[in-house]
Chain A
Amino acid sequence: MDLEPDVLVIGGGMAGLVAGTVAAQDGLDVLLIRRGQGSTAMSSGAIDICGYMRGATVHFESPIEAIQTITRVHPLHPYSIIAYDEGGIVPEKSIKYIKDATNWLKKQLARSIAAIEGDLSRNLMQLTQIGTTKPTCFVQGSMVHPGLYDNDSRPLFVGIRGHSDFNAAITANTFLQYRMDIDMAPRIVLNEMIDLSPHGRHHNIASIEIARFLDTEEGLEKITSILKNEVKRTGATHVVLPAVLGIERAIDNAKHLSKETQATVFETLAFPPSVPGLRLQMALDRIFQASGGTLILGHKAVSGVFKGETLVEVKASGPKRKISIRPKAAVLATGKFISEGLLGSQKGVREPLFGLVTVTGEFYDASEEYPRRHTRPIPFTNRGHDIFQFGVPVDENLRPVDYNGRAKAENLFAAGAIIAGYDFSSEKSGLGVALTTGYVAGEKVIRNIRSDI
């Protein structure tokens, strides 16, 4: 059977799903193929817009400030590229896109399992699983912790017996040290280990098991009564939990627990692949499908056929079958190295699906760059790793370009981490760029099909 959708989206993390949903909501027939899990499930579940300037040690107070700066310093950053207007960069254009995209997403997610809070006027300093803080812009409703940094707060860090991902004592300790460093430590920080045992035993427990358990009445009752006692005993103002508050009911659970205990109960940011990340991915999948999009998992796009300057066909392969798709337009949202949107080897870095031009962060040709030369021996520095900035160069319509700077195909757009010129890791801009470029690519694809660009 021939598949002839209006739009084919290749890849289904934040970028692909947003582009696909925007197009589907405009009435287009959208097919999204993806190998397996979208990369958003690998995220922390919080949506960063931009936390740092690459190389800086001080974070941005707000994403607006970040965009104002980045569009003036990095003209080829994706946030700058979408701001091109008549040959120049207009920062306000970028800010408008980001505002539109985040407002749109907030509305889409509003009644989902991953409803988000936050706004572009400030970066939230979100508490992490190891007691440090990270600037991010939007967090899920189960993660908000107002008043945590007040001098009179009395946070209680709660670990769960047998759950190796979170050690309440170490996290509490780190939190205290960090706060003391800036002379803003609370007078008292508490920690406690509780027994939840989702499957009747208190060893070898994964975050996901606790989350599933807390989705049940039994689980919620158990943790409510335990935390109620703990808060009463300690007089805590905040209860810090690892990211395990539920899959379907996390936000309600957090509200319920806060109400019952009279303290602010919230989840920390967690390491990938986190439960909140999974929630965000699931919520985006559901929104895409509810908007009329078709999601086909387990298929990897393997090649494309171009006729002149048009992409006419994409071949994809499943475990035992091959399919051919002939879309009117396509969005490439295949991500970087883990998702194999880019392949790096000793020979260089290439884009394996369409053989697109790849560039380094400085926009040199990356086809013969040895990836290891673009990594640093120290994993975490404020300079990041240059390899993360590799990707495909795009024009102001987010179309991948060839060596002459012309679009490879008039109907092929890119979104998310496949785009060159930004470092999600040191900038803390991953999901923000994915969301914004996905949103813009969705609009471009609609215009491409409805009229012509």
Chain B
Amino acid sequence: MSEEEAYEFVMNTLRKEAIVPLDHEEIDIVRSIEKCMNCGSCINLCPVVAAVGMDTFSGPRSIAIELSRSTPEFWTSANMIFLCTGCGTCRENCPHDVDIPMIVNLLRWVIYKQRPELIPKQLLEVQNRLEKHSLAFEPWEDIEDKNESRDVRIEQLGIPFVKDRKGVKAEVLFYPGCQAEERAQEVREAAKYILVRLEVDYCLLSEMSCCGLPARLSGAKELARDLEKKLISKIKETGAKKIVTTCAGCTSSLSEIIENSGVNVKVYHIIEYLMEEVDEAKLKLLFERGRGTSESTITIHDPCHLIRHTSRMIMYYASIILRMIPGVSIKPSSAFDSCCGGGGMVGYHSPHVASRVTEVNVKAIERTGAERVVTPCPLCTTQLENELFRSNVVVDVDDFTVFIAQQIARGER
């Protein structure tokens, strides 16, 4: 038997036995589970356990010490493992840095490989869309309709339209992410407007392509890797040295894949870009011009993908920027950094669980008495908006980028 044949023979046996070999990175993740000392701190803080109870979602500790070891009887773990919103609260608070969100992705992948019928069908639909369009959302059939929807949205918000800059080379690439590209178009437009007003030399991808996070979260690791590769080559084409994004998920995901790819590009959430790359005086001046045009009491919601997957400094910066705006007063919410419930693809297949998680935020937001919630993530925005509406709480929700663009636009008039 040749070496290749021997390899094939072994692989076939593994397939028959339903064993999926892990690569080095994955073995590191599995090693991190070994450090779990079973203390249960994570259970005290997990937002899904808080919302639905340990009997429905057994919690991060159980993922580390039980569910990750149940192979190959995945039916025992599948109904729980897909309820994790991937917020990362457990990892942040774990004394031993057990990487639960990564273990969840890994388990979802293993289940996807061996028992695809256990994957919620809504996730398979997302995977199909990603494969077909490289986008997490179904693209608009008619571009005219899409533009019309965009125009209505930005007109309502009072954000001037600026033309797309595509197919040009620029220092900064603005990457809106799937949701701002196809659904929350006002976020994409707001960011473009801000960049233009700050005279930033920016461009867009000639064709938007997903960063792969939804694929990874739904267990389709190979698809995620393909999407990453595709995006990296598109980024290289633009020659950009900096990527600015308005999406929290894209920020952490791009930071990860750019770091792994070795490409010399720096990833910024627009908050970081405003804080680190824009002259403070310039930004303040733009805000000052709008002084007296509007007063607002806001509360801030911190997206998990920024604070727990990228850095809490970003939301520290966000509060500094928001405080620069005349007429804005901030009322802190007691659940400011609690998961919105929509993460980890839970919103797709178990909206009832996602809603229960959001409830905690809704109650805390209501208690602040603020007129609006500002959050730098299109997913959190949608999730909070829906639940506030459903609970009859009259509080507006604005994406951070939109809120900033509105203030600048008011000064222009």
- Using a CB–CB cutoff of 8 Å, the interface residues on chain A facing chain B are 1, 35-37, 39, 41-42, 198-199, 201, 203-206, 208-209, 212, 272-273, 275, 278, 294, 296-299, 318-321, 323, 338-339
Contact = CB atoms under 8 A, between A and B. Distances in A.
A297 B95 contact: no
A338 B35 CA distance: 11
Contacts of A296: 312-313, 316
Contacts of A208: 43-44, 49-50
B355 interface: no
A42 B95 CA distance: 10
B377 to A, nearest CB: 15
B307 interface: yes
B55 A203 contact: yes
Interface in B112-148: none
Give the bracket for the number of chain B residues in contact with chain A: 35 or more
A272 B39 contact: yes
Nearest to B254: A320
B71 interface: no
Interface string B276-295: 10000000000000000000
A241 B43 CA distance: 20
B56 A319 contact: no
Given A273-B40, A321-B311, 19 more contacts: A1-B276, A37-B41, A205-B54, A206-B54, A273-B39, A273-B44, A275-B44, A296-B316, A297-B307, A298-B308, A299-B312, A299-B313, A319-B88, A319-B311, A320-B259, A320-B311, A323-B311, A338-B96, A339-B95
Interface in B79-97: 88, 92-97
Contact of B54 (A209, A273, A299, A321): A209
B50 A212 contact: yes
Contacts of B256: 320
Contact of B53 (A199, A298, A339): A199
B52 interface: yes
Interface of B: 39-41, 43-45, 49-50, 52-56, 58-59, 88, 92-97, 252, 255-256, 259, 275-276, 307-314, 316-317
A79 B204 CA distance: 63
A199 B316 contact: no
Contacts of B259: 320
A375 to B, nearest CB: 16
Given A273-B40, A296-B312, A297-B312, A36 B53 contact: no
Contacts of B317: 1
B54 A36 contact: no
Nearest to A322: B311
A36 B92 contact: yes
A344 to B, nearest CB: 14
A37 B39 CA distance: 13
Contacts of B56: 199
Contacts of A41: 41, 44
6 contacts: A41-B41, A198-B53, A205-B55, A206-B54, A298-B92, A321-B313
Contacts of A205: 53-55
